[in-house]
Amino acid sequence: MMTEISLNILDVAQNSVRAEATLIEISVAADTVQDRLTVVIKDNGCGMSEEQVRNVTDPFFTTRTTRRIGLGIPFFKQSAEITGGSFTIKSELGVGTVTEAVYVLSSIDRMPLGDMTQTIHSLVTMNTHIDFLYTYSADDKSFVLDTREFREILGSGDFDVPEVSAFIKDFLKENHAEVSDLAE
Amino acid sequence: MKSLEELKAIREKMKGQVDIRDEASDAIRVVVGMATCGIAAGARPVLTAFSDAVQERDLANVAVVQTGCVGLCQYEPIVEVYKADGEKTTYVKVTPEMVNEIIDQHIIKGNVVTKYTIETAKLG
Whole-number average pLDDT of chain B: 89
Range of the domain at A159: 5-179
Interface residues of chain B, partner chain A, Cβ below 8 Å? 1-2, 4, 6-8, 10-11, 13-14, 21, 34-37, 39-40, 44-45, 47-48, 51, 55, 58, 65-66, 68-71
**Within a domain: residue A44?**
yes
Higher pLDDT, B68 or A66: B68
**Within a domain: residue A184?**
no
* Position A58 confidence tier, pLDDT thresholds 50, 70, 90: confident
Of residues A42, A34, A10, the one with CA closest to residue A138: A34
Q: Tell the CATH topology of B21-123.
A: Glutaredoxin (3.40.30)
Selected for mutation to probe chain B from A69, A121, A167 (highest B CB count within 10 Å) is A167
What CATH number is attached to the domain comprising A137? Answer: 3.30.565.10
Number of domains in chain A: 1
Calculate mean pLDDT across residues B76-89: 93
Share of chain A above pLDDT 70, in %: 92
Q: Using one digit for the tens of pLDDT, what is the confidence trace for A77-102?
A: 999 999 999 999 999 999 999 999 99
* Amino acid letter, A158: D
In the 3-class helix/strand/coil scheme, how is B97-116 assigned residue by residue?
A: HHHHHHHHHHHHCCCCCHHH
Calculate mean pLDDT across residues B50-79: 91
* Position A69 confidence tier, pLDDT thresholds 50, 70, 90: low
Separation in Å, CA of A75 to nearest CA in chain B: 9
Task: Give the C-alpha separation, B94 to B70, whole Å.
Answer: 15
Q: Give, as one character, the DSSP assignment of residue B117.
A: B
CA dihedral over B93, B94, B96, B101, signed as positive or negative: positive
Task: Give the C-alpha separation, B27 to B5, whole Å.
Answer: 35
Q: Using one digit for the tens of pLDDT, what is the confidence trace for B13-55?
A: 887 665 555 555 558 999 999 999 999 999 999 999 999 999 8
* A31-40, A153-162, B65-74: which is most confident: A31-40
Task: Give the C-alpha separation, A9 to A72, whole Å.
Answer: 9
Query: CB atoms < 10 A from the CB of B63, how many?
Result: 18
Range in A71-75, A119-123, B1-5, B105-109 the model is least confident about: B1-5
Please judge whether B39 and A10 are an interchain contact, meaning their C-beta atoms are less than 8 angstroms apart. Answer: yes
CB-CB contact of A2 with B40 (8 Å): yes
- Quote the pTM value: 0.90
Opening angle at CA A13, ends A12 and A15, nearest 5: 70
Q: Using one digit for the tens of pLDDT, what is the confidence trace for A114-166?
A: 999 999 999 999 999 999 999 999 999 999 999 999 999 998 888 988 889 99
Contacts of A75 in chain B (CB under 8 A): 36, 40
pLDDT for A110 beyond 90? yes
Task: Give the C-alpha separation, A164 to A150, whole Å.
Answer: 9
pLDDT at A13: 95
Please judge whether B51 and A166 are an interchain contact, meaning their C-beta atoms are less than 8 angstroms apart. Answer: no
Selected for mutation to probe chain B from A161, A179, A180 (highest B CB count within 10 Å) is A161
Selected for mutation to probe chain A from B1, B2, B23 (highest A CB count within 10 Å) is B2
Domain borders along chain B are 21-123
